Amino acid sequence: NAGVTQTPKFRILKIGQSMTLQCAQDMNHNYMYWYRQDPGMGLKLIYYSVGAGITDKGEVPNGYNVSRSTTEDFPLRLELAAPSQTSVYFCASSQGIGYEQYFGPGTRLTVT
Amino acid sequence: DAKTTQPTSMDCAEGRAANLPCNHSTISGNEYVYWYRQIHSQGPQYIIHGLKNNETNEMASLIITEDRKSSTLILPHATLRDTAVYYCIVLYSGGYQKVTFGTGTKLQVIP
């Protein structure tokens, strides 16, 4: 199993540009999550999904959108990128309630 | 969700046991204690979790006090590769699983 994969690893965006961060898992997990981590800080939950077609907001959803059309994929969309979105983005998945989360390697995004 | 309090940083000599405390005084009866760690810029890694009994796996031991208001993660023989930020998290066992990561404890293992 590849586990949780994320692409790209690095990206530089100009202010106002848009992009999609890709996340995929091959463990047939129902739950998937997107976090952001600013320098020296803990992780903050952006969005999560409990299954295909079901998503919900986390702690810091503004400026982001998600979709979950399949069990495997959970892309995160940034519209109109802003410098405040400069961060490392982690995707995670879990089997369900009470199970541990598996994290991807992260995407380092810089908005200038 | 219950909040957790952890020391900002700790040092441990290589080969010695690392004991990382966590306070979760507002934990409720159906909330688990989870521990994750994050090694320099990598994605967090699950270590162990428990409800009220002490737990042990190949990575660590988790000691939860009888009143469940605090816990200690024990790395029995710390190595340099255990240098990381350790997060203590409390999770509700029912409903949607929202996870809140604080700033954790930065453990530095010293040769």
Which tens digits make up the pLDDT trace of A102-111? 999 999 999 9
The residue written with tokens 């990128």 in the block is: A81
> Which pLDDT tens digit goes with each residue over A39-82?
888 889 999 999 999 999 988 999 999 999 999 999 999 999 99
What Rg, from alpha-carbon coordinates, does chain B have? 13
B96 vs A42: CB contact, 8 Å cut-off?
A: no
Mean pLDDT of B13-24: 96
At A37, is the secondary structure helix, strand, or coil? strand
CB contact under 8 A, A98 and B103: no
Which amino acid makes up residue A75?
A: P
Q: Tell me if chain A has a CB within 8 Å of the CB of B8.
A: no
Q: What is the SS3 assignment for B82? A: helix
Q: Residue A2's pLDDT is what? A: 83
pLDDT of residue B92: 72
Q: Is the pLDDT of residue B98 over 80?
A: no
Residue B59 exposure: Cα atoms within 13 Å on the Cβ side: 13
Report the C-alpha gap between B77 and B2 in whole angstroms. Answer: 30
- Cβ <8 Å between B41 and A106: yes
pLDDT confidence of residue B95 = 56
Q: Please state, for a pLDDT cut of 70, what percent of chain A lies above it.
A: 98
Interchain contact, A48 vs B49, CB within 8 Å: no
Are the Cβ atoms of A97 and B97 closer than 8 angstroms? yes
Q: Tokens standing for B56?
A: 């042990």
User: Which chain A residues are Cβ-neighbours of B49 within 8 angstroms?
Assistant: 100
| Sheet bearing B31-38, strands edge to edge | B9-13, B105-110, B84-92, B31-38, B45-50
Mutate to test the interface with B, among A100, A102, A107, A108 (most CBs of B within 10 A): A100
Place of tokens 């598996």: A102
Is B32's CB within 8 Å of A31's CB?
A: no
- Give the residue from chain B lying closest to A56, CA to CA: B96
Query: Which of A48, A102, A103 lies at the smallest CB-CB distance from B98?
Result: A48
Give the closest of A33, A56, A97 to B93, CB-based.
A97
Mean pLDDT of chain B: 90
The answer to whether residue B99 neighbours chain A at the CB level (below 8 Å) is yes
Q: Give percent above pLDDT 90 in chain B.
A: 71
- Residue A110 C-alpha, separation from nearest chain B C-alpha, in angstroms: 15
Question: Which tens digit of pLDDT belongs to each residue from B80-96?
Answer: 999 999 999 888 765 55
Residue B61 CB: number of other CB atoms within 10 A? Answer: 17
pLDDT of A38 over the 60 cut: yes
